[in-house]
Amino acid sequence: MAKKNKYRRKVKKPPEIEAEQFSDGKDLPDGVWRGTHGAAWLSNSDNKTRLNEGDWVVTNPGGGKMVMKNEEFILKYEEDDE
């Protein structure tokens, strides 16, 4: 009978990101601009995304930015206390 080896799933350390939560009454996060009707937008090389109250502007390690809904953000990330 062949010996069975036990394995554990490798857990890769997630990349460190920077994030700023959008709030209409505060200064705009870097890269966010106002359209002609007052809506807040983030443009990147692929598209432009409208921000809503509570959305997060996430900057990945390579400098790219994206918008995440608050519900998705809090499931995926936690604050780094280091």
Residue 53: inside a domain: yes
Average pLDDT (25-45) is 90
pTM reported for the whole predicted model: 0.76
The more confident residue out of 82 and 43 is 43
Three-state DSSP class for residue 70: helix
Percent of the chain whose pLDDT exceeds 70: 83
pLDDT at residue 68, as a whole number: 94
In the chain, the number of structural domains is 1
Residue 79: is its pLDDT beyond 70? yes
Range of the domain at 52: 18-76
Residue 7: inside a domain: no
Q: How far apart are CA 46 and CA 26, in angstroms?
A: 26
Q: How far apart are CA 47 and CA 11, in angstroms?
A: 32
Q: How far apart are CA 5 and CA 10, in angstroms?
A: 15
